[in-house]
Structure 1
Amino acid sequence: MNSCKQQLTLVILAAGLGSRFGGDKQLAELGPNGETMLELSLKSAYKAGFTKAVLVIRPELAPLLDKALQDKFADDFKIEYCLQSIDDLPEAARAHADLAQRQKPWGTAHALWSARHHVNEPMAVINADDFYGDSAFSLLVQGLSVASDDWMMVGYPIGLTLSENGGVNRGVCQVANGKLVDVAEWLEIRQDASGLTGMLNEERSTIDDNAVVSMTCWGFKTDIFTVIEQELCEFIKLNGKQAKTECYLPSVVQARIDKSLQSKSSWGVNVSVAQESWYGVTYPEDVQWVKLKLQQAVNAR
């Protein structure tokens, strides 16, 4: 490997249970040649210039991923696993966490926290079960290669991210002058007779048809781990006795944005809008449609 090449890590959140899908979406063979979404993303990342990938997983996935990824990548692209464990928490949060009551890990912010010992360089963060397209990874490399403390996000028009088979969860964004102002996790977003609606703060509200959403396609510097630690501690102090409540990565990003705005800092989260469609499976009924779209997208490269 060229020693002058910038070190960039792709962190892939791959520990999800796929409860609505009915199985491990990260292992579903949806590509035109039987590839998983995970494999397609790894190939796009390598082509764009990433030098390493860290997969955040459950222990039982390791041998399955070994088999699926064996001999698929060059020696200059390192792939590591790390485990998302319920008890891997900041020390200050432990006293407030009822681990015996807890039924699942603590969400996407906690998943990225799990990778902190594996990443010492600028990083992108994506989901294992989504297809982002080559252009998203090129945008991430461009943004992360700039000498700046800013974070970044590659967003997608909300209309390109919905499912015809049920509601979906999305980080709905407000963007001004190319910077992210606000991102909030909306649940059960769907198109119905009253238009595009979703659940926010346990109330169903209307969403702008032209909204840009976060599909977990972020670019961070290593200071993200300090911010996650602070926010996880606050979250677990409030929710540590709950069995399933999760700390979402967009909430962590929003907390950092709010502090920056309060201090009138020039720091921000730069937003790029993807040049290709996003594809993902939330429900089993999504599979055939996604397979068709992936075949078209991959063959068009």
Structure 2
Amino acid sequence: MKPTLLILAAGMASRYGSMKQIDGFGPNGETIIDYSIYDAIKAGFGKVVFIIKEEFVDNFKSIFEPKLNGRIETDYVFQNFDLKQFGIEEEIYREKPWGTAHAILSGRNLIKEPFCVINADDYYGYDSFKKMVDFLTTEATDSNYAIVGYQIGKTLSEFGSVSRGVCKTNEEGYLEEITERTQVYKKEDVIVYEENGTTYPLSFDTPVSMNFWGFTPAVFKLTEELFKTFALENKDKPKAEFFIPLIGENLVKSNKANFKVIPTDSQWFGVTYKEDKPFVQDSIDQLIKSGTYPERLWK
């Protein structure tokens, strides 16, 4: 059975100012998602599931169904605020969704095969999709998961500092912990991060998480239990978010699962602010000129 690609596309994109998930960046209006799906089909994924807000389903279908019909199976699930589905009767006020780990629970009744989770607004490169398919079809078990580790030097922004989840691995290449480093940037050709007013160096090839995870459906039950605890503990924190690294951290520390850190030397780029758009468009143009993608992605 071919693995499934689960795309996180329910974010509010408040800093971008519009729905960046369906904004056009390619020469014919292609979204970043288009390039991810193109690579995923080539790599061997069998289905794409979009996690979106229910009110955007018609938008997504009108954009992606004509392109993907006959190429790969597609489906849609909705991230919402209903906690009763998790057995939580208490009303908890929220200003924003519960986060990426809560989002993947939206697919728990639909996905029955090994699957990969990615962000809608990040460009990852074919190498990562191919390596993840190989892992999901030959190595993945209910206690052996994976994360793609990008070289931090290939994930920085030209427009200021970034936050990155730095992966610490053991000698066998398995995850020991993820540490969120804020204020990461290049200073005089050296990559550094700031902490309490002091700067510390990071090597170019330090592996970081860019939200490219591989799981089996067994993770849903584990995540649901973690989410119940998180929601009740953070009921008075309307901006608290339940992120996927929290799943990884809990499962590793409790010895319930291992995470293989799959290395890639692919260039990553993403879009957070409107100012990022010209850079992303230029990056895609360069990939087309190098022959990585055809000028018209879906012919």
Whole-Å Cα distance in 2 between the matches of residues 203 and 178 of structure 1? Answer: 31
Whole-Å Cα distance in 1 between the matches of residues 186 and 272 of structure 2? Answer: 15
Counterpart of 2:209 (choices 205, 214, 223) is 214
Whole-Å Cα distance in 1 between the matches of residues 191 and 58 of structure 2? Answer: 44
Aligned to 1:197: 193
How many equivalent residue pairs?
Answer: 286
Secondary structure, counterpart of 1:70 in structure 2: helix
- Structure 1 251/72 Cα, relative in aligned 2: closer, same or farther at 3 Å? same
TM-score (norm 2): 0.87
Whole-Å Cα distance in 2 between the matches of residues 236 and 276 of structure 1? Answer: 36
Whole-Å Cα distance in 2 between the matches of residues 249 and 207 of structure 1? Answer: 26
Whole-Å Cα distance in 2 between the matches of residues 58 and 46 of structure 1? Answer: 24
Identity of matched residues, % = 34
1:1-301 alignment runs, 5 A limit: 6-75=1-70, 77-88=72-83, 91-95=86-90, 98=92, 101-149=93-141, 150-176=144-170, 177-191=172-186, 196-197=192-193, 206=200, 208-210=202-204, 211-260=206-255, 267-299=257-289, 300-301=291-292
Q: Is the 8 A contact 1:165 1:283 kept in 2?
A: no
Where does structure 2 lack aligned partners over 5 or more consecutive residues? Answer: 293-299
Quote how far apart the aligned CAs of 1:13 are.
Answer: 0.2
Secondary structure, counterpart of 2:178 in structure 1: strand
Whole-Å Cα distance in 1 between the matches of residues 88 and 202 of structure 2? Answer: 37
Whole-Å Cα distance in 2 between the matches of residues 209 and 292 of structure 1? Answer: 27
Quote how far apart the aligned CAs of 1:70 are.
Answer: 3.1
Q: Is the 8 A contact 1:170 1:186 kept in 2?
A: yes
Quote how far apart the aligned CAs of 1:206 are.
Answer: 3.9
Whole-Å Cα distance in 2 between the matches of residues 167 and 89 of structure 1? Answer: 39
Quote how far apart the aligned CAs of 1:216 are.
Answer: 0.7
The one-letter code sitting in structure 2 at the alignment partner of 1:197 is Y
Q: Is the 8 A contact 1:179 1:268 kept in 2?
A: yes
Q: Is the 8 A contact 1:90 1:229 kept in 2?
A: no
Range moving further from structure 2, 277-286 or 147-156: 147-156
Deviation per CA, 1:67-111, whole angstroms, max 9, x where unpaired?
A: 21132124251111111001146634443x51xx21111000001
Q: Is the 8 A contact 1:10 1:53 kept in 2?
A: yes
Whole-Å Cα distance in 2 between the matches of residues 205 and 88 of structure 1? Answer: 42
Q: Is the 8 A contact 1:179 1:270 kept in 2?
A: yes
- Structure 1 90/258 Cα, relative in aligned 2: closer, same or farther at 3 Å? farther
The one-letter code sitting in structure 2 at the alignment partner of 1:275 is D
Aligned to 1:3: none
Range moving further from structure 2, 23-32 or 161-170: 161-170
Deviation per CA, 1:137-180, whole angstroms, max 9, x where unpaired?
A: 10110000115411011111112112222443332211222111
Deviation per CA, 1:163-214, whole angstroms, max 9, x where unpaired?
A: 2224433322112221111113444544468962257xx9987462342111
RMSD: 2.3
Q: Is the 8 A contact 1:88 1:114 kept in 2?
A: no
Range moving further from structure 2, 164-173 or 151-160: 164-173
- Structure 1 102/178 Cα, relative in aligned 2: closer, same or farther at 3 Å? same
